Amino acid sequence: MGKEIASFSFEESYARLDEVIEALEAGDRSLKDSLALYEEGVRLAARCEEQLRAAELRLTELLDQARDDDA
């Protein structure tokens, strides 16, 4: 993989995570390859969670700001 996970967009992370899951579910990889895929999957899932939390925080801030503007 050429691109670092930390630079992936949410969509890129999610798409790659889906590929990793499919590869693991196929069951045709060696133990070593399966472990490497699993580790990548854990990092991708963490990246997705990080981005979702950031989006949730931003939405909360926007909603708070909108409420303050209405008050």
| pLDDT tens profile 7-47 | 999 999 999 999 999 999 999 999 999 999 999 999 999 99
Tell whether 17 is covered by a domain: yes
- Give SS3 for 9: coil
Structure confidence at residue 21 (pLDDT): 98
pLDDT attached to residue 71: 74
3-state helix, strand, coil in the chain (%, to 5): 85, 0, 15
pTM: 0.85
Q: Does 2 reside within a domain?
A: no
3-state DSSP call for residue 3? Answer: coil
Q: Residue 61 belongs to a domain with what CATH number?
A: 1.10.287
The tally of CA atoms less than 13 A away on the side-chain side of residue 11 is 0
Count of structural domains, the chain: 1
Which position has the higher pLDDT, 17 or 68?
A: 17
Alpha carbons 51 and 43: distance in angstroms, whole number: 12
**Domain presence at residue 53:** yes
How many contiguous H segments (helices) and E segments (strands) does the chain have?
Answer: 2, 0
pLDDT at 2: 62
Query: Does residue 1 carry a pLDDT above 90?
Result: no
